[in-house]
Chain A
Amino acid sequence: MKQVELLVIGGGPAGLCAAISAAKQGAKVLVIDRNEMLGGQLIKQTHMFFGSEKQHASVRGIDICDVLLDEIKTLYHVEILKDTTVNAIYDDGVVTADMNGKYIKIKAKAIVVATGASEKTLAFPNNDLPGVYGAGAVQTLMNVYGVKPGQNVLMVGAGNIGLIVSYQLMQAGVNVKAIIDAAPSIGGYLVHASKIRRMGVPIYTGYTVKEAKGKDCLEGATMIKLDEKWQPMEGTEINFDADVMCISVGLTPLAELLWQAGCEMKYVGELGGFVPLRNEGMETSVKGIFVAGDVGGVEEASSAMVEGYLAGLSTAKYLGYTSYDYNAKRDDYLDQLDSLRSGPVGEKIRIGIEKLIYMNEAAASNNA
């Protein structure tokens, strides 16, 4: 059995930041990731990030990944296991994993689960045809492997992912015929929407997919307008020829390990599905198990990174590593999260998170 102080499950932006933050406080960290490349979803993000300088604003996602990995290389206490899939979390911090075919057992004093989220799907006739892909899948194919997903794309979903992937498709030389969204207005940032509109891509709000068509692969689709009660209106159908349909209707947390570990979970629609109850410092209802990033609530990369730093700080304290500037660091991370979640765009997240926090400051500082 491999003994570790802090086990971070997931080497995406949240996990890497948790490892950096905890290691800087003195904790010894093991990061496990199921892929042969670290970085989670950052490795596909060719666009420049928002936020403040602390969150690497105006740096491309793929470059932020390198920045984080370079920083980890300078920290002595961080070990990394790639190509390793955690199978289960048992009692007493016992974790089992498949290390490239070999079954290993780990005993961790504290765990940060940063396993991210996965794409939701949409129900409509023939949604199983090859050519109907998640938007993230198309992004992986294009930006990581340099393969075009097809010639003509219909994008379903006008949230940030739908808008950004549409732009990236155009960048890669693929024609995006239209973006549709069932909601009456565009869900993503208008700066992305404007960019894509300037490239000549129409955005149809209030439309959903009626059905997809094709024999062996997708050949086209019909979309239909919805009324104010979200019911399809006959006679409003529009047909498109397309060999790719990107379904970008949201993500849902990959929370299986948290369920298994006995964490108290709650369904919060604003955050993508079932999420763990947690305190402000990112600790779940199971002592010693913390979360960071999309697994705790689907948001975006900048928040994932700050949550990672915060979770790393909290787990280090839990392990007994504190510092004179602990409170200042903690307040700074909390302020950064508040700032990222401020304004009308952050309203949904704020509502979702309010449903989650189950311990107040006073109770949380009992261990101080």
Chain B
Amino acid sequence: MRINDHPVLEFKRGTKVTFTFNGQTLEGYEGETIAAALHAAGVKVLSHSIEHHRPRGFYCAIGNCSSCAMEVNGESNVRTCVEPLKEGMVIKTQEGKGDLL
């Protein structure tokens, strides 16, 4: 779902990198946000709500609402909409509140 032809913008994308999402290998571009890379790969459900286990994606996409929190390289509660993607990142949907320390 990437835009390749745009009337005004030219997208300067970084190097292509691979990363894993819940064990599955995906591709993205270095420097774009994790949420953007996942969305481009068709992944919209980023977690499930804590009490009612409802599917949850991002909302504000600039780091204010925390809807997009996932586990990245073992660290919980990472706001994936502002975290830049790096080669080899291990991204997982977080269960519950995650490790707070």
Contact = CB atoms under 8 A, between A and B. Distances in A.
Interface string B59-82: 111111100000000000000011
B36 A171 contact: no
B33 interface: yes
Nearest to B36: A145
Contacts of A119: 59-60, 64
Contacts, number: 94
Contacts of B62: 118, 136-137, 140
B101 interface: no
Contacts of A146: 2-4, 6, 9, 11, 13
Interface in A119-174: 119, 121, 128-134, 136-138, 140-150, 171-173
A20 to B, nearest CB: 24
Contacts of A137: 58-62, 81
Please tell me the size bucket of the interface on A. 35 or more
Given A131-B57, A217-B57, A147 B39 contact: yes
Contact of B9 (A46, A118, A134, A254): A46
Interface of B: 1-9, 11, 13, 32-33, 36, 39-40, 44-46, 49, 54-65, 81-82, 84
28 contacts: A46-B8, A118-B62, A119-B60, A128-B49, A129-B57, A130-B46, A130-B55, A130-B56, A130-B57, A130-B58, A132-B57, A133-B58, A136-B61, A137-B58, A137-B61, A141-B36, A143-B9, A145-B33, A147-B1, A147-B2, A149-B39, A171-B7, A172-B6, A173-B3, A216-B55, A217-B45, A217-B55, A254-B64
